[in-house]
């Protein structure tokens, strides 16, 4: 298996505050499915920000797509970001663009012509059950619909890595399972999936998924070894992490 992400003694500090992440060392492999969990404030979102290149680490080394991120030039960052799909916890849809245009945004950024992007966007809208809402602005969509638009936008380019922060937090259980199936399908096509979630049931649904647990900015297992698949004993007591 090829490694796609490598962390070595990575630390992240915001300003002069304490370290939000400390001594993270692990490797993620291409084509795998990972769940990232841990209590609120454990550093999950900070770790995801490092993964989707919104932040550089304060110390340590990160390798992504076989390149050292710490020394990577700014000019090459956009190319790397286009290979990473992101589902933000707060969706981050462009408020004055329709659902269709929000989903088409990564394709347009990548330079696809309008004539070529209608079909894939319609397909993915249909997949997330929003084919009738393509022209709707985000403000007129429910929380669940906005989340599905955000997911559709993240997967439309079939990225090498998909990073999702609580991607099923606002959808009903049926839609959550459906979205998970979409992630699985992407994963089968080779996309590495990293999902931060509190949802134990979601984690148990993907049998071959591996799990990372953060506590206090550190990996739960200090050796960095990943548990897979999660055993019921691992999950016991995690319900109280929620929220």
Partner 1 sequence: MLGAFFPTRHDRRLIPQARLTGPMPWVIAVMLFLTLLAAAAALALGSAADQINADLAGRATVQIVNADSDARQRQASAAEAVLRSDRAVAVVTRVSDAEVRSLLSPWLGSSALSDDIPLPSLIDVDFRRNASDATLGRLRDALAEAAPDARIDAHGQWLRPVFELIGTLRWLAIALVVLLALASIASVMLSARSSFAAHAETIDIMHLLGSTHQQIARLFQRRIALDAALGALIACLLAAPVLWLLGRAATRLDSGLVSAGSFGPFDWLLLATVPIAGIALAVVTARMTVLGALRKKL
Tell me the sheet residues that pair with 241: none
The β-bridge relationship of strands 33-37 and 192-196 is: parallel
- The structure tokens listed for 7 are 């962390």
| Region near partner 1 per CB under 8 A, out of 2-10, 40-48, 70-78, 165-173 | 70-78
Site for partner 1 in 169-198 (CB under 8 A): none
C-alpha distances out from residue 18 to 12, 21, 25, 30, 43, Å:
9, 9, 19, 32, 12
Distance CA 9, CA 48 (A): 16
Q: Is 61 in the site for partner 1 (CB under 8 A)?
A: no
Nearer Cβ to partner 1, position 50 or 193?
50
Q: Is 94 in the site for partner 1 (CB under 8 A)?
A: yes
In the complex, the smallest distance separating the C-beta of residue 116 from partner 1, rounded to whole angstroms, is 13
Q: Please, are residues 168 and 176 in contact by the beta-carbon 8 Å criterion?
A: yes
Site for partner 1 in 198-217 (CB under 8 A): none
| Region near partner 1 per CB under 8 A, out of 86-94, 131-139, 181-189, 202-210 | 86-94
- The structure tokens listed for 76 are 């090459």
In the complex, the smallest distance separating the C-beta of residue 72 from partner 1, rounded to whole angstroms, is 10
Q: Please, are residues 198 and 215 in contact by the beta-carbon 8 Å criterion?
A: no
Q: Is 86 in the site for partner 1 (CB under 8 A)?
A: yes
- Residues in contact with partner 1 by CB under 8 A are 52-56, 74, 77-82, 86, 92-97, 101, 104-106, 108-110, 114, 153
């Amino acid at each position: 298996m090829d490694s796609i992400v490598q962390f070595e003694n990575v630390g992240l500090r915001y300003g002069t505050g304490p370290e939000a992440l400390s001594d993270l060392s692990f490797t993620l492999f291409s084509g795998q499915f990972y769940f990232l969990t841990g209590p609120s404030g454990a550093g999950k979102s900070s770790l995801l920000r490092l993964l989707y290149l919104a932040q550089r680490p304060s110390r340590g080394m990160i390798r992504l797509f076989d390149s050292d991120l710490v020394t990577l030039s700014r000019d090459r960052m956009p190319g790397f970001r286009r290979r990473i799909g992101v589902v933000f916890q707060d969706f981050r849809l462009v408020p004055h663009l329709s659902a269709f245009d929000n989903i088409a945004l990564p394709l347009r950024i990548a330079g696809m012509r309008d004539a070529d992007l209608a079909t894939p966007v319609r397909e993915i809208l249909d997949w997330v059950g929003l084919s009738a809402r393509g022209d709707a602005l985000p403000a007129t969509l429910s929380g669940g619909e906005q989340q599905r638009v955000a997911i559709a936008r993240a997967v439309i380019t079939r990225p090498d890595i998909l990073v999702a922060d609580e991607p099923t937090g606002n959808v009903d259980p049926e839609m959550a399972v459906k979205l998970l199936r979409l992630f699985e399908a992407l994963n089968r096509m080779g996309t590495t999936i990293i999902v931060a979630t509190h949802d134990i049931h979601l984690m148990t649904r993907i049998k071959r998924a591996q799990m990372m647990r953060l506590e206090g900015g550190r990996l739960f297992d200090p050796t960095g070894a990943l548990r897979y698949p999660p055993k019921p004993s691992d999950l016991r007591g995690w319900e109280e992490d929620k929220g």
